[in-house]
Structure 1
Amino acid sequence: MEPRWQTILKEYAEALIIAFILAFIIRSFVVQAFKIPSGSMLQTLQIGDHLLVNKFIYGIRIPFTDIVLARFSDPQFKDIIVFEFPEDPSKDFIKRVIGTPGDVLEMRNKVLYRNGERLNEPYVQHVQNDFSPVRDNFGPITVPADKYFVMGDNRDESYDSRFWGYVDRDKIEGKAMILYWSWEGFSNIRWNRIGKMVE
């Protein structure tokens, strides 16, 4: 018969192993926490916002690979998504989907047109009055199959598809869902943002 301390130690070890396995499964397939490090999505997302990303909504892929086991739905226009940054896959980016496969996009002097229609984008912020050829004017372009055109809501200060191109469907990790924490430091917790759905 084992001493009681060994039995207790074994039970704790088993519980810890199961907890790690469950946490790995949940993080890999269901939900992942994400922190907003920059202002490219202002005012929708603030620096210091912490949100949960639904990794299950678009499908299941094998962790640490691009192998997709099953697709459930595709990202939709205006979804806020987390994806592997095409120029550095070790980094995750968060942007809003502006163009889905087959969409025709054009921007003229900061005004965006999708499939010939001027978009009403109340979530967009502009902080500069000047016009840039790449940043504020492009197209028309047609989004290829299995690709997505994404942009930050803080249009004048976002490094997005206008500069580095499309996001591959298989590089999209999930959809931003809900804010679970928001602060600018210990002295300034944004209580009014906690629990807010990301839209």
Structure 2
Amino acid sequence: MNFLRRRQGLLDAVVFSGGEPTLQDNLKSAVSEVRGLGFKVGLHTGGIYPSRLGELLPLLSWVGMDIKAAFSDYDKVTGTPKSGEKARESARRLLDSGVPYEFRTTVHPLYHTQDSLLQLAEELQQLGVKHYLLQEFRSHGCADEIVSNFADRELLDDAICSRIGTKFESFSVRRA
């Protein structure tokens, strides 16, 4: 916190990110302390702990939520049973909170098809998501050769992006 105290007036916000910040038991107290210093607070999360996210939402200025896949396909992507249900519940809590957000999906041909991306977009639209972003997987620094080798296949052509984009108030694609 000493570092942040020295940055008061220089920084506007602090974003908690990492692997999954909601894994940290002391996250709520850290967020409260940072807010107490006058900073806005953002959170990047995969939504694996809906109740922890719910406790944090009143303290947050913004949330970036990673949506891995269509909720019915989550277990295949994460390897964790019922992870899609947890992500859906976190998404609902975030949307109900009124906290500004960005929902985003990192697209990889090993885990996604154009049809599965359309299904995901429809699910998010039905939940009430207004702001959605797709980002292409970047293989730089990825130690898994199988995952890296699939990264060259293009899924996000203009046609699919146009179809997905019509479902949201704001939609964008981050290219690798």
Answer whether TM exceeds 0.5 for this pair.
no
More helix by share: 2
More strand by share: 1
User: Max radius of gyration: which structure?
Assistant: 1
Greater relative CO, 1 or 2 (CA 8 Å, sep 6+):
1
Q: Which TM-score band (shorter chain)?
A: under 0.3
